[in-house]
Amino acid sequence: MQRICLFPGTFDPLTLGHVDVIERAVSLFDKLVIGVGINSGKQPMFTPEQRTGWIQDIFKNEKRIEVISYEGLTVDCCKKVGAHYILRGIRYVSDFEYEKAIADMNRMLAHEVETIFLTCSPQYSTISSTLVRDVIRNGGNVSMFIPKQVKF
């Protein structure tokens, strides 16, 4: 059986912290599917097409990475792509508390799907998409927080 993992997120925008987690996780699996989530409850700054395009461009030479967009439950997306693992990045202890609750719910919905937590490298622990969007909205320079392929 292939080890397929889904890394879900809004990636609005993709940050260097996301890239760090992806680059370190890809060798753990036969295939890493990056799922750009479309959440009707959120108003993203960037379109799903922009977000998937950036990720595809960054990882175009990595054959084990596939990029999709999806709506609905993450465990349903796992079933669709054949993933038995969900990858989540952790920056702080508070992230773990939130992510564990989601992992527990996902486990109850789909007992065959395991959640794997990977901490980000220390230099990226303060970077979040929310903070990057705030800097963008206020005209600041975000080039030190995002990959050069993320253009808007």
Separation of alpha carbons 77 and 59, rounded Å: 21
121 catalytically annotated: no
Answer yes or no: are the C-beta atoms of 69 and 39 closer than 8 Å: no
137 catalytically annotated: no
pLDDT digits (tens, 9 = 90+) for 11-26: 999 999 999 999 999 9
**Can you list the domains of the chain with their CATH numbers?**
4-137 (3.40.50.620)
Beta bridge partners of 69: 36
129 catalytically annotated: yes
18 catalytically annotated: yes
pLDDT digits (tens, 9 = 90+) for 27-51: 999 999 999 999 878 789 999 999 9
Q: Which of 42, 60, 121, 151 is catalytic?
A: 42
pLDDT digits (tens, 9 = 90+) for 51-95: 999 999 999 999 999 999 999 999 999 999 999 999 999 998 888
Q: E strands along the chain, which residues?
A: 4-9, 31-38, 65-71, 85-90, 114-119
Residue 93 pLDDT: 87
Query: What DSSP designation does 90 have?
Result: E
- Beta-carbon neighbour count of residue 137 at 10 Å? 9
